[in-house]
């Protein structure tokens, strides 16, 4: 007998409507201490102030909403994806509310805090080789999906257009409105590349004079969780190399130093990736005399206490 699952998406759609209120609409924080010239302004969007505690809430919600409303994800399947941690936590937070079982492929060297949070939210974790990073986690997830298509709905965030579309519809419009259209530069690190691709495409629609700059680690061996060194890593399918005005390299050590500076000057404990984005924004600010530069602070330092204990 075929199981009737037509009522399941309807239940989740009602819950999704309530969850939508907890996604996005994050504030901009000014960083005057980082501006090298009187005419430049640097702002960071505090993306941890939403469900799941990171920028990835936007993409995770968009991906889940599509999967549920189209009937691709029903009670007889588990959500499956690969992540360095933040998208996983965003999925797990949403799945906990929606009562959806969730399996995550995660590199085994993810921070202890991330692993603890994910397990606390009820996630089934499959830890993959630290040597292969998120590329290895993606391989494992794809293999599981291919072997057991009836068990899993593979979200595949690195190739899922709902990833970048989330930022096209929410992140960029929020920034444009919050700066009253005065934003001149958008700067963002490249991981899944969804936040950069989606935001940049929308900025080009809003004002084609806005300069959009991508950031990446300056070497393959780096300490920025979730970021990709595009020359040596598997490039996400959603990435569009023609969008960036420039790609600026970021040094992990300098980003770590900035964590301490921001804590002392701004009273914010931010993550390494957030610091790396601010470092990139400051590099851009040194190259111009006037402008409004906005970047995304993916998350705060709550999930990095072991790393931060050696920095602060």
Within 13 Å and on the Cβ side, how many CA atoms surround 165? Answer: 12
**Which of 31, 36, 27, 85 lies closest to 278 in space, CA to CA?**
31
Percentage of the chain with pLDDT > 70?
Answer: 96
Let me know how long the chain is. 312
**Which of 250, 183, 189 lies closest to 214 in space, CA to CA?**
189
Q: Name the band, by pLDDT with cuts 50, 70 and 90, for residue 225.
A: confident
Exposed (0-12), middle (13-18) or buried (19+): which is 192, by Cβ within 10 Å?
buried
State the pLDDT at residue 244: 98
The secondary structure element, H or E, covering residue 213 is strand 211-217
The two structure tokens encoding residue 229: 């060194």
Q: Name the band, by pLDDT with cuts 50, 70 and 90, for residue 11.
A: low
Per the prediction, the chain carries an average pLDDT of 94
Angle at 169 between CA 163 and CA 175, to 5 degrees: 110
pLDDT tens digits for range 169-193: 999 999 999 999 999 999 999 999 9
User: What is the rounded distance in angstroms from the CA atom of residue 259 to the CA atom of residue 183?
Assistant: 24
**Which of 229, 215, 238, 225 lies closest to 85 in space, CA to CA?**
225
Residue 147 has pLDDT above 60, yes or no: yes
Can you list the domains of the chain with their CATH numbers? 8-50+166-308 (3.40.50.1100), 56-154 (3.40.50.1100)
Over range 248-275, report the average pLDDT.
Answer: 97
State the pLDDT at residue 4: 42
State the pLDDT at residue 256: 96
State the pLDDT at residue 5: 43
Residue 266 has pLDDT above 50, yes or no: yes
SS3 content of the chain, % helix, strand, coil (to 5): 45, 20, 40
Q: Is 187 helix (H, G, I), strand (E, B) or coil?
A: strand
pLDDT tens digits for range 273-294: 999 999 999 999 999 999 999 9
State the pLDDT at residue 12: 67
The two structure tokens encoding residue 242: 């023609």
Over range 260-267, report the average pLDDT.
Answer: 96
Residue 3 has pLDDT above 60, yes or no: no
Q: How many CB atoms lie within 10 A of CB 38?
A: 8
State the pLDDT at residue 10: 52
State the pLDDT at residue 100: 94
Over range 241-261, report the average pLDDT.
Answer: 97
Over range 93-109, report the average pLDDT.
Answer: 95
pLDDT tens digits for range 75-93: 889 999 999 889 999 999 9
Percentage of the chain with pLDDT > 90?
Answer: 87
CA 151 from centroid of its chain's CA atoms: 26
Provide the 8-state DSSP code for 25.
Answer: -
Residue 207 has pLDDT above 50, yes or no: yes
User: What is the rounded distance in angstroms from the CA atom of residue 172 to the CA atom of residue 213?
Assistant: 14
User: What is the rounded distance in angstroms from the CA atom of residue 286 to the CA atom of residue 283?
Assistant: 5
**Which of 261, 196, 283, 206 lies closest to 235 in space, CA to CA?**
196
Over range 112-123, report the average pLDDT.
Answer: 95
Q: How many CB atoms lie within 10 A of CB 257?
A: 14
Torsion angles phi and psi, residue 209, rounded to 5: -90, -10
């Amino acid at each position: 007998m075929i199981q009737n699952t037509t009522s399941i998406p309807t239940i989740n759609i009602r819950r999704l409507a309530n969850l939508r209120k907890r996604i996005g609409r994050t504030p901009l924080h000014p960083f005057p201490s980082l501006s090298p010239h009187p005419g430049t302004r640097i702002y960071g969007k505090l993306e941890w102030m939403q469900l799941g505690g990171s920028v990835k809430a936007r993409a995770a919600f968009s991906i889940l909403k599509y999967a549920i409303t189209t009937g691709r994800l029903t009670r007889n399947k588990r959500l499956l994806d690969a992540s360095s941690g933040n998208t996983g936590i965003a999925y797990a937070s949403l799945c906990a509310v929606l009562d959806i079982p969730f399996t995550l492929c995660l590199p085994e060297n993810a921070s202890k805090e991330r692993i603890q949070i994910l397990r606390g939210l009820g996630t089934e974790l499959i830890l993959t080789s630290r040597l292969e990073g998120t590329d290895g986690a993606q391989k494992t997830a794809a293999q599981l999906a291919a072997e057991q298509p009836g068990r899993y709905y593979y979200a595949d965030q690195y190739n899922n257009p709902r990833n970048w579309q989330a930022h096209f519809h929410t992140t960029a419009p929020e920034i444009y409105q919050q700066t009253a259209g005065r934003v001149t530069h958008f700067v963002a690190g490249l991981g899944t590349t969804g936040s950069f691709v989606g935001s940049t495409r929308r900025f080009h629609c809003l004002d084609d004079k806005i300069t959009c700059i991508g950031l990446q680690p300056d070497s393959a061996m780096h300490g920025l969780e979730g970021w990709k060194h595009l020359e040596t890593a598997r490039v996400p399918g959603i990435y569009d190399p023609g969008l960036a005005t420039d790609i600026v390299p970021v040094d992990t050590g300098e980003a770590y130093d900035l964590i301490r500076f921001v804590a002392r000057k701004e009273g914010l404990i931010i993550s390494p990736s957030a610091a790396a984005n601010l470092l990139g924004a400051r590099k851009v600010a040194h190259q111009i005399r006037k402008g409004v530069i906005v970047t995304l602070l993916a998350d705060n330092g709550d999930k990095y206490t072991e790393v931060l204990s050696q920095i602060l």
